[in-house]
């Protein structure tokens, strides 16, 4: 039977179908450390190689410092990334340029496109992006970077060199403090990508539920429900991190979990969906 989705052998295909996986990323480069919530290129490459064939095109509408584009280059795919923060967009351009140069030296990059656009994902249709075969992205986890008491935020502030929020831009969804407004904006952004996606193209959103003010906001589940009206929600994969230190949250008084997992939501662009 011909493989219409990717270039993988049956063994690799089957391994990826497991509903959970552990991925502990390698150390980050100094420049990209400025970004507060970067996902690993090594993991992104696995998703890209499953949901596309060589030479196809990948989009990340919230590109950050370019993880998706670097992974796409390594996988032999074209890529586009939209990033609102001009500093991150510039870092992404530099990182992508360096990666492409190193791959060209080994004759692995060829004529691949890897373009970083400093712009607003809400305006994705205005940037001349061609038909997309796959979207891989991760949104801000609401306004949690504004939570000054978070342990990781304390460390970033203490460093004096690392960003603690994505930007000061009012158009940045990470600066929206009302949950329903934030959710609506995310759904609008991802729904607006539909004209750019070829029929049957997949969209993977890496996200997790958010704890704030003593309660949980089911961001992953809400996105799955709302975007399931626009795309077909096909499945989920659970990314588990087992290299994180445990903290004694609520010890002796209340249940507060150490949350070390993310949902990788898989949607498909079925054109009958409206």
Radius of gyration of the chain (CA): 18
Is position 274 within any domain? no
Is position 3 within any domain? no
**Distance, CA of 263 to CA of 208 (rounded, Å):** 6
The pTM is what? 0.86
Q: Which of 56, 44, 120, 45 is nearest to 82 (CA)?
A: 120
Q: What is the pLDDT of residue 108?
A: 63
| Unique residue bearing structure tokens 């970067």 | 38
Is position 129 within any domain? yes
> Can you give the residue range of the structural domain that contains 111?
10-268
End-to-end CA separation in angstroms for the chain: 32
Is position 5 within any domain? no
The structural domain count of the chain equals 1
Q: What is the pLDDT of residue 150?
A: 55
Instruction: Tell whether the model's pLDDT for residue 196 goes beyond 50.
Output: yes
**Beta partners for 115?**
80
CA 197 to chain centre: 17
Q: What is the CATH number of the domain that holds 185?
A: 3.40.50.150
| Unique residue bearing structure tokens 């391994």 | 15
Q: Which of 9-13, 49-53, 70-74, 104-108 has the lowest mean pLDDT?
A: 104-108
Q: pLDDT tens-digit profile of 116-146?
A: 999 999 999 999 999 999 999 999 876 665 4
Is position 4 within any domain? no
Average pLDDT value for the chain = 86
| Unique residue bearing structure tokens 């008084």 | 253
Bigger pLDDT: 39 or 10? Answer: 10
Bigger pLDDT: 39 or 170? Answer: 39
Is position 78 within any domain? yes
Is position 118 within any domain? yes
Is position 1 within any domain? no
**What is residue 247's three-state secondary structure?**
coil
Bigger pLDDT: 227 or 28? Answer: 227
Residues 23-37, mean pLDDT to the nearest whole number: 61
Q: Which of 62, 204, 196 is nearest to 136 (CA)?
A: 204
pLDDT above 70: percentage of residues in the chain? 81
Q: Which two tokens stand for residue 182?
A: 């934030």
């Amino acid at each position: 039977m011909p493989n219409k989705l990717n270039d993988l052998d049956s063994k690799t295909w089957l391994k990826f179908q497991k509903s959970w996986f552990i991925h502990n990323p390698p150390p980050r480069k100094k420049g990209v450390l400025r970004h507060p919530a970067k996902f690993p290129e090594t993991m992104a490459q696995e998703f890209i190689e499953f949901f596309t064939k060589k030479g196809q095109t990948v989009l990340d509408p919230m590109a950050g410092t370019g993880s998706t584009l670097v992974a796409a280059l390594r996988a032999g795919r074209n890529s586009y990334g939209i990033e609102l923060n001009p500093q991150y967009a510039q870092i992404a351009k530099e990182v992508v340029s360096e990666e492409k140069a190193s791959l060209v030296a080994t004759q692995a990059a060829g004529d691949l496109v890897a373009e970083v656009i400093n712009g607003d994902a809400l305006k994705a249709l205005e940037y001349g992006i061609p038909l997309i075969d796959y979207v891989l992205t991760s949104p801000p986890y609401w306004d949690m970077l504004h939570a000054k008491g978070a342990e990781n935020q304390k460390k970033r502030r203490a460093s004096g060199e690392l960003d603690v929020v994505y930007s000061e831009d009012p158009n940045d969804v990470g600066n929206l403090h009302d949950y329903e407004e934030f959710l609506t904006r995310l759904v609008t952004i991802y729904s607006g990508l539909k004209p750019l996606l070829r029929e049957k193209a997949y969209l993977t959103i890496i996200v997790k539920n958010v704890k704030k003010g003593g309660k949980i906001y089911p961001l992953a589940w809400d996105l799955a429900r709302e975007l399931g009206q626009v795309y077909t929600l096909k499945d989920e994969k659970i990314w588990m991190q087992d290299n994180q230190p445990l903290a004694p949250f609520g010890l002796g008084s209340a249940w507060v979990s150490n949350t070390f997992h993310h949902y990788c939501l898989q949607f498909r662009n079925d054109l009958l969906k409206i």
